[in-house]
Amino acid sequence: MARQSSEGLSLLYRLGWRFRYVTTSVFGPAQLGTDDPQLRLRRERERKVAAARARREAS
């Protein structure tokens, strides 16, 4: 099985993100279309990964 790379995100951020994602899954509100909390978290992470990739390519 291939290991997923950190994509330039810190270990603390990745752990915090996973914790928030799981807790919104268990304790958060229902999926609300465009205002879905898990979708918001995934989009936030995608933006951070894209920024980290851009910084890495610019170096």
Q: For residue range 3-52, list pLDDT tens digits in order.
A: 566 777 889 999 999 999 999 988 877 777 777 888 899 999 999 999 98
Token output for 18: 């996973």
Inter-residue contact 48 to 9 (CB < 8 Å): yes
Q: How far apart are CA 34 and CA 31, in angstroms?
A: 8
What's the predicted TM-score (pTM) here? 0.74
DSSP single-letter state for residue 28: S
Q: How far apart are CA 28 and CA 49, in angstroms?
A: 24
**Tokens 């990964």 map to which residue?**
49
